[in-house]
Structure 1
Amino acid sequence: MSTETETEPLGWCVVANVATETANGPGGLEIRAGVRHFPAGAKVWVLPPMWANDSDRLMVVGHHRGRGHRLVRVPVLWRHLTGFRVRMIYSPAVMRAIQRPARGSRQPWLWNSRAQAQEYADLWSHGKPLEGRLDDSTDRPPISDPPPPVLDHKGQTYHLAHFNAYRARYSVLPPPSEAI
C-alpha cells in the first residue's frame, strides 16, 4: 500500500560522508575541512568504479558547497570519504544526476545489485594500506593507517618521521627528545 506522499525506491547506491579533515597540497601537509567541492560531513552517493587504472578516485554525486548547493558529479579521492554504506535512492533529482551521460562514456552508472554495492562498500571501508618508505632501504612495506610509531622490518627498528594520507616515512634515527 503506497500513498501519494511515499516515494518508491529507484535503486541501490553506495553512500559515504566527506571526511572532517583531509590532507592536501605538497606532501599532504595542508589540512582542510572537507574537500574542494563538498563540506566536511556532506553526504555523497558513490558511483560504480569507472577507471581500472586509477582506483584512488571515485566518482560521486552530492550537493556542491557553492553553486546554490545544486547536485554535481565529480571525482574524489576515496581517502577523503568515510562511513561507506549501502542505501536506497529515493530522490529523482539524485537519480538524474547519477544517470546524466558523461562525455565519451557509455558505462552504466547504477550498481547492478545490492550485493555488488555492499561488496564495494566493505572494500572501501577497510581502505588500502599506506605506502611505507624506509630511509636506508628500497623496500616499500605496506603500513596500517594510522601508522605505528615504531616499525621492525628485517631485523631493523625504524621510527616514524612523517606521514600523510598516502605514505609513512620511517627513519633509523629515534625522534628528538624535547627539552623540559
Structure 2
Amino acid sequence: MADGLTGEETPDGLLGWCLVANVARETSHGESGLDIQHGTKHFRAGTLLWLPPVRWDPGYGRWHAVGRHRGNSRRYVNMVVDVGDLENFRVKGVYSEALVRSLNGHEHDPAAPRTLQNPWTRERAQDLADIWSGHREYLFIEGHRCADPQISVPNPPPAEIQLDGETLHLVSHGTWGAHYSHTPPPTKWTPEP
C-alpha cells in the first residue's frame, strides 16, 4: 500500500484510506447564517461523507465529497460541501469498488476498478481530521475581533455565551466568524387577546 503499511497491519480487503465526516445535525444557511436547518440540501443530517484529496480548488471552506444523496440513498453522488457543515472528522478504510469509482470520479480506470487514483495516506488524512475536528469560529464582539485568539465558539455558534461574567448575544454568523453583542435581540411583541 502507498501509506507504508505492512501486510500484517493492512486489514483484509482494504483498498485505501479516506478522510470522512458526518453532515452536522444543524447547519446554518441564509443571510448571516441564522437560518438553522437539519442537514444540507443534498445530504441528511448524520450522512457519512467521504472526502477525497482535492484535485481542484472548490473555494474557501469548501471540499469535494462523496456520499449517499438525500433523494436516492442507494447511489453515491459527488458534491462540493461547506466544511463548516461537517462534524466528526476521522479516517476510514475504503473497501467498496463502487465507492472507489465515485472517489476517482472522471479519473476512474475501469481496467483497475479497485485502485484509488488519488489516495490519501493514513497519516495525511488523520492530520487533516485533527485540524478540522478543532474547527471553531472566530469571535467578534460589537464589531471587533476578540483580543484573545484562544477564545472561539463552535460552529454553529450558540445564541448566547458567557464571557468574563457577561452574557453576549449572537447577532450574526457568517464566513468571517460569529458576531456577538452585549445588547439582547429585540423581543417579538405579541398583542394580548
**Both structures adopt the same fold (TM-score exceeding 0.5):** yes
Structure 1 residues 160 and 40: CA distance shift in structure 2, 3 A: same
* Secondary structure, counterpart of 1:162 in structure 2: strand
Pick aligned residue for 2:153 from 139, 144, 147: 144
| Contact 1:160 1:168 (C-alpha < 8 Å) held by counterparts | no
Structure 1 residues 91 and 133: CA distance shift in structure 2, 3 A: same
Give the equivalent residue in structure 2 for 1:131.
138
1:20-169 aligned at under 5 Å gives the runs 20-50=25-55, 54-67=59-72, 69-101=74-106, 109-111=118-120, 113-127=121-135, 129-135=136-142, 139-141=144-146, 143-145=152-154, 146=157, 149-151=161-163, 159-164=168-173, 166=175, 167-169=177-179
| Contact 1:130 1:168 (C-alpha < 8 Å) held by counterparts | yes
Give the 4+ runs in structure 1 shifted more than 4 A. Answer: 50-53, 174-177
Structure 1 residues 47 and 55: CA distance shift in structure 2, 3 A: farther
CA RMSD of aligned residues (A): 2.9
Q: Unaligned stretches of 5+ in structure 2?
A: 1-10, 108-116, 188-193
| Contact 1:79 1:165 (C-alpha < 8 Å) held by counterparts | no
Structure 1 residues 140 and 49: CA distance shift in structure 2, 3 A: farther
**2: CA distance between counterparts of 1:65 and 1:175?**
35
Q: Give the TM-score taking structure 2 as reference length.
A: 0.69
**2: CA distance between counterparts of 1:52 and 1:42?**
23
* Secondary structure, counterpart of 2:13 in structure 1: coil
Q: Give the TM-score taking structure 1 as reference length.
A: 0.73
